[in-house]
Structure 1
Amino acid sequence: MDKKKSTLSWLMEWAKPYKTNYIYSVVFAIAGVFCGIAPYYGITKIIIGLLNNNRELNYYYFWIGICAALWVLRYLFHGISTSLSHRSTFAVIAEVRKRLAAKLVKLPMGYLMDTPSGTVKNIIVEKVDSIETTLAHVLPEMTANLLGPVCIIIYLFAVDWRMALISLITVPIGLFCYMFMMKDYEVKFKHYVDSNKHLNATAVEYINGIEVIKAFNQSAASYKKFTDAAKEASGSAINWMRGTLPYFSAAMSVFPAVLVGVLPLGSYFYMKGSLTAETFVLIIILSLGIMTPLITVMSYSDDLGKITTVVNDITSILTEDDLIRPEMPVKLNSYDIELKNLSFAYKDKTVLHNVNLLLQEDSVTAFVGPSGGGKSTIAKLIASLWEVPEGTVFIGKTDIRNIPLEQLNTMIAYVSQDNYLFNDTVRNNIRMGNMAATDKEVEEAAKQSGCHEFIMKLENGYETVAGGAGGHLSGGERQRIAIARAMLKNAPVIILDEATAYTDPENEAVIQSAVAKLVQGKTLLVIAHRLSTITDSDKIVVVNQGTIEAQGKHEQLLDSCRLYRDMWNAHMEAKDSEGECQLSNIQSKTEYSGKRLE
C-alpha cells in the first residue's frame, strides 16, 4: 500500500464510493449559503424604500416575504446537505473501521506487541471519529461558504470597485492573524495527540493492573506513570491552546469589523457625490453578508489543522506490511510439520538459533524447558502469528509462506496460556471454533473438555455472558472453554501452549483424556510446564536457550538429558509437596469438623 499518499488522497479514496451523495451535499450547501446571503439584498431594498419615502405596503410585504422564504429555504437546504454528508460520512467511518479490523488480523504479532492496546483503540475509535467533521462539515460547508462570498465580491466590484476593495480591508488582517495561528500548528497538535496516545495506553495498563495496585495499596496519585501521563496530556493541551487561541480570537474579531472601513470612506464618497445613497446602503448590507460565511470557514481552520495528524495515525496501521501470503489455496499431502534452520530474533535479542525439528502427523509432540527458552516462539511461528525471518517452517512439505493465511488459520487450532473470551455467551465463545456448529455439537465439545458441568452450574448455563476477557470465570474455567473451542474447530494441527496451566488436577485428567481422543489423525503440539501430563507423548523435545537440547521418549530423556532429569525431579518434588499440603488441609478440616461435633 502506498505510504506516500497525501491526506487529501486518503480522504478522497475513502469517500469515493459515496461521491454522488457528497456532490449533492455540496450543491445543497451552496444553495443554502446563497439563500442565507440573498436576504441581505432584500433588506437593502427595504431600507432604500424607506429612504425614498416609499409608502406602498405591498412593496415591503413582497421583500419581507422574499427574505422570510429565503431564510426558510436556507435551513431546509442546509438540513438536506447535512443529512446527505452525514449519512455518507458515517458509512465511511464504518468502512475505515472495518479496514482497520481486517488489517490487524493480517499484521504480524510483533506490531501488536510493540503497539500498546490503548493506542490502537484510540486510533480505531477516537481518531476515526475525528474524520467526521472534515467529511461531513468541512467538505460541503467550507466549499459553499467560500463560493458565496466570492460571488458577492464579484458583484460589488461590478457596482463600485472602490467600495468592494474597502469592504475587504479586514480580510488580509484576519488572514495575517490566521497565518500566525497556523505556524507550527501541526507540530503542536501532534504533540497533543502523542501525549493523549500515551495517556490512553497508560490508562489501559492502569485498569488492567488495578488488582495489583489495590493489593499493594497504590492509589492513582502514587501511580507515577499514570499521573505523569495525565499531566503531560494536560500540559500539551494548554500549550496548544495558549499558542493558537489568541490569534484565532483576533481573527474572529477582525473579520466582522468590515464597517470600520466601509462607513467612513463610503460616507466620504457619498458626501463628494461619487456614491449614491442606494449603492452605499447596498454595499454596507452586502459587505456584512460577506463576513458571515467567511467566519464559518475560519471556524473550520482548527479541523483542517488536525486532519493531517489524524489521517497519518489511521494510515500508520493501514500501510503496515502484511504477512505476505498467496491467495490461491494449496493442496497438502500430509500435516507433518518440519522446521529447517529456523532462527528468530525479537528486536535485538535472538530467541531461536538454527532450530531443526520434525513433528509427525497423528502424533503428540511435547515441548518442555525453562521459561524463555523459545517454546512459545516456535509455536507462534508455526501458527504464523509471527513472520518467519530466517529458515523455513514446512507443513506437508509446503513452506507456510506459500500457504494462504485463511487456509493456514483454518488448519491450525491454537490455544495459548492467556485464553481470551469475548463479552458474549459461553455458547458463542465455544462456537467461535466453528460458527456453523449446532448447539448439540457445542455442548459435546464442552463435555469432552471437562467444562459442561461447571457451565450448567452457571446462572444461565450456556447463555451466561462470560464477560470481557472472560473476567466472570476463573482461569481454569476459561482454559477449558478455550480448549472446547479448539476441539470444536476440529483442525488437523493443534497447538496447546501451556493450555492447562490453570487447570486443577481433577479436571486436568479429564482434559488429557479428551486430548488423547483429539489427536487421532492430527498433528498435536503441546507446550507443558507439568511434565507428568506429557510422559506418554510420542516425542518430547527439550527446548533451552533457543536450541533443541534433546528429544525422545520420556524414559530415554531421563537417561540421556540432565536438564530434563532435573526438571522431572523438581516437578515430582513439587507434586509431593502439593500432595502433603492437600493432605494437611484435609486433616485440618477433619479435626475442625470433629471439634465442632464434640
Structure 2
Amino acid sequence: MKKQSPIKRLWELAASQHAGLKLSVSLAVLGVLGGIVPYVVAGQVLTNLFNGVTDFSAYMKACVVGLLGYAVKSVLYSLSLSVSHKATFELLQELREKMLHKLPKLSLGKVTATPSGEWKQLIVDQVESLERPVAHLIPEMTANMVGPLCILIYLIVLDWRMALLSLVSIPIGMFFMSIIMKSYGKQYAGSVQVGAQMNAAIAEYAGGIEVIKAFNQGESSYHKFSEKILANAQYYYDWMKSVQFLMSLSKSILPTTLLAVLPAGYLFYQSGSLDGGTFLTTVILSFSLSGLLMAAMNFVDSLARVGTVVGQIDALLAAEEQQHEKHPISFNKHDIVLDHVSFSYESGEDAKEIIHDVSLSIKDGSFNAFVGPSGGGKSTLAKLIAGYWDVEKGSIAIGGINAKKVPLEQLYNSVSFVSQDNFLFNESIRNNIRMGCLSATDEDVEHIAKLSGCHDFIENLENGYDTIAGEGGTHLSGGERQRISIARAMLKNAPIVIFDEATAYIDPENEVLMQQALGQLVAGKTVIAIAHRLSTITGADQIFVIEEGKIENHGTHQELLEKSKLYQSMWLAHVGAKGGK
C-alpha cells in the first residue's frame, strides 16, 4: 500500500473545514498576484524612463496601479489569514475532541502505559503545533508557489531566454535544500521524542516531589530531570549545527538570480535581440520570483512537523479499541460469570499471562470478596469485570450476557469502581462527588455524603463543600480522599459495586462507621470487595482466594477456614496482627 503524503492526510483530517481553507487559499493567491503588480509597474516605470517618456500622468497612473496592487495584497492577505485561522482553530478543537473521545475506548493498559506528559504533549502541544502548517502553510505556500509560476509565464511571454536565466540559481539553491529535506522528517520526529521524554521527566519530578523530599532524593532526582532537559537542548543544537552550512548555502544562492540575468541580459541588449524595457522588467521581476520562493522555503519546518504530528494523531485515532456492541442491552439481573478467563497485559509471544484459566460465578445482589497474596491478580480480575480491558481467552458475562455485547458506555455505567488510590480533580469537593452523577443537585450531593459518613469532615473544611481538593486530591488526607471517592461511587448508584481496598486509608475509629454506611448503600447490589483486612469480609456470601492468577479456593469465611490452608494462614496472620483477638 502506497504511503499517503502528510499534507494529503492533513487535508483529509480537515474535511469539515475545506470550505474555509479553500476560500483562504483563493484569497492568498489573489493577494500574491496583487503583490506582483508593483514589480510589474516598477518595470514599466523604468522602461518609460529608459525610453525618455516625459508625460507625468503616465508615471502617476503607474504609481496608482502599483499602490492598488499593494493594497489588494495587504487586504486579501489579512482576510486570508483571518479565514484560515478561524478554520484552523475549529480543526484543532475537532482533533482534540476526537482524541479525547478515543481515549475511553482504548483499554486501560494502553492509556496507563503512556506517561501523562506524553499524552499532554500530543493532545495539547503537538496539536497546537499544527496551527502554523494549517493556517499559514496551506494558503501561503500554495500562493507562494502560484506566484512564481505566474511570474515565470509572464517572463516567458516577454522573452523566454530571460525567463530561463532568471531560474539558473534556483535549482542550485533547491539542491542544497533537498539534501536537508532528506533527513528533516526523521530529525523532527527525533525532536518530538526527546521533547516527550523531557515532558514526562518534568511531570514525574513535579508529581513525585513529596517522595523526593521525604527520602532526601532531591539531588539524584534533579539530576535525572536536568539530564532530560539538557538532552533536549543538545539534540536541537546538534541538529541545527548539522544543517547550518547547507541551509546557509541554499538561502544565499537561491536569490542570486541577477548573477545570470544581468550579464546575459546586457549581452542580449548590446546585440539588439533584447530591448531595454524588457531587460529592466526582467531584472525587477527576478527579485520577486526568488522572494516568493524564499517565502515558500520558510515552510520546510512546517512540512516536517505535519508528517510527524499527523502520524502521531493517526496512530492514536487508529489504535485498537475495545470491541463492544453499540445497541444498549436490557439487564434483568446483574450476576457475574467468568468462564475460563486468561489474561495478559501485553500481546505477542513474550506476553506474560497474569490470569490463568479462571472460572467463577457471582450471584446477583450478593456480597463477594477477593482475597489473597499481593500481586496474585485480585485487582486485575476486578478491572476485567469492570470492563477496563477485554479478555481474549474465555469470557465474562453479566446478567447472562457476554460483556462484549454490552456497549462500553453502558458497561461503565453498570459498575462503580472504588480503589484505594482514587483520583480527585482540582475542583470543589462538591463537584468531585457530583462526578458520579452530573445531574445531581447540591442537595443530592450532601445527602449521599451524609449517608457515606463524610459530611461532617467536609463541613469542617475551610470552605466546606466548596473547598478545592487540589490536583489529585493533594489538599486532603488519604482517608478523606477515599471517603469522597466512596460518596462519588455511591452517587453513581450502579448495580455492580467493586471496592479495591476502599477503606485502606481510613482510621480504625471511622472504619466501623464506614462499613455500616456502606452496608446500607450497597444493599441489593452485586458487590465485590478486594480486602487485606479479612475481618471486614467475614460476612461475605462468598470469598474467593486468589493466588498467582488462579482461584485457589472459594466459599464462606467458615468454609475456607476448614478447607483452605492459604486462607487459614492469612486469617491467623491477620488476627495475630490484631493482638490475637
TM-score, normalisation: structure 2: 0.96
SS in 2 for 1:184: helix
Tell me if 1:127 matches 2:126.
Answer: yes
Would you say the 8 A contact 1:198–1:229 is kept in 2?
yes
Shift of 1:392: 1.1
Deviation larger for 499-508 or 238-247: 238-247
| 1:36 paired to 2:35 | yes
Q: Give the aligned residue type for 2:445.
A: V
Query: What is aligned with 2:197?
Result: 198
Q: How does 1:188-587 map to 2 (within 5 A)?
A: 188-219=187-218, 223-347=222-346, 348-576=351-579
Question: Partner residue of 1:596?
Answer: none
**CA drift at 1:95:** 0.6
Question: 1:137: how far off?
Answer: 0.8
Q: Distance in 1 between matches of 2:15 and 2:344?
A: 42
191-200 vs 522-531, which deviates more?
191-200
- Once residues 4 and 129 of structure 1 are traced to their aligned partners in structure 2, the CA distance between those partners, rounded to angstroms, is 25
Equivalent pair of 2:416/2:489 in contact (CA under 8 Å): yes
| CA deviation after TM superposition for structure 1 residue 479, in Å | 0.8
Identical-residue share of aligned pairs (%): 45
Do the aligned partners of 1:329 and 1:403 also contact (CA within 8 Å) in 2? yes
- Contact residue 7 and residue 306 of structure 2 kept, 8 A: no
- Count, aligned residues: 577
Give runs of aligned pairs for residues 59-138 of structure 1, distance below 5 A.
Answer: 59-138=58-137
Residues 38 and 67 of structure 1 are in contact (CA less than 8 Å); yes or no, is this contact kept in structure 2?
A: yes
Structure 2 counterpart of 1:506, which letter?
E
One-letter amino acid of the structure 2 residue matched with residue 142 of structure 1: M
Cα-to-partner distance string for 1:317-345 (whole Å, 9 max, x where unaligned): 11110000010112222100111111112
**Per-residue deviation, 1:120:** 1.6
Q: Deviations over 1:76-118 (max 9, x none)?
A: 1011100111111111111111111111100011212322222
Instruction: Tell me the SS of whatever aligns to 1:183.
Output: helix
Q: Secondary structure at the match of 2:503?
A: coil
How many angstroms apart in 1 are the aligned matches of 2:23 and 2:221? 55
Report deviation, 1:150. 0.4
Shift of 1:433: 0.7
> Could you tell me how far apart the structure 2 residues matched to 1:76 and 1:575 are?
81
Q: Partners of 2:59 and 2:579 in 1: how far apart? A: 103
Q: Give the Å deviation of 1:9.
A: 4.1
Shift of 1:422: 1.1
User: Shift of residue 305 of structure 1?
Assistant: 2.1
Segments of 5+ residues of structure 2 without an aligned counterpart are none
- In the TM superposition, residue 3 of structure 1 has moved relative to its aligned partner by 12
Shift of 1:232: 2.9
The answer (yes or no) to whether the contact 1:363–1:519 under 8 Å persists in 2 is no
More moved, 188-197 vs 261-270? 188-197
Kept in 2: contact 1:189–1:240 (CA 8 A): no
Does the 8 Å CA contact 1:177/1:248 hold for their aligned counterparts? yes
Tell me the alpha carbon deviations over residues 158-193 of structure 1, each in whole angstroms, 9 at most, x when there is no partner.
111111111111111111111111122222222222
**Larger displacement relative to structure 2 (403-412 or 68-77):** 68-77
**Aligned-pair distance for 1:200?**
1.9
TM-score (norm 1): 0.93
Cα deviation, residue 217, structure 1? 2.5
| Distance in 2 between residues matched to 1:523 and 1:7, nearest whole Å | 50
Deviations for 1:26-68, whole angstroms, at most 9, x for unmatched residues?
A: 0100111111111011112222233334333322222222222
Separation in 2, partners of 1:499, 1:563: 23
Equivalent residue for 2:177?
178
Distance (Å, rounded) in 1 between the aligned partners of 2:502 and 2:184:
51
Residues 10, 306 of structure 2: 8 Å contact kept: no
1:220 positional shift: 5.2
CA contact (8 A) 1:220 1:227 kept: no
Q: Distance in 1 between matches of 2:474 and 2:68?
A: 60
- Change in Cα spacing, 1:522 to 1:314, as seen in structure 2 (3 Å) is same
Q: Which amino acid aligns with 1:162?
A: R
* Matching residue's letter, 2:254: F
Structure 1 residues 196-205 or 493-502, which shifts more? 196-205
Q: Distance in 1 between matches of 2:513 and 2:86?
A: 54
Q: d(CA) in 1 for partners of 2:571 and 2:465?
A: 39
Which deviates the most, 73-82 or 47-56? 47-56
How far 1:538 moved relative to its partner? 1.5
Retained in 1: the 8 A contact 2:106–2:321? yes
**C-alpha separation between the residues in 2 aligned to 1:141 and 1:245?**
25
Any conservation in 2 of the 1:479–1:499 contact (CA below 8 Å)? Answer: yes
| Equivalent AA in structure 2 for residue 34 of structure 1 | L
Displacement of 1:482? 0.8
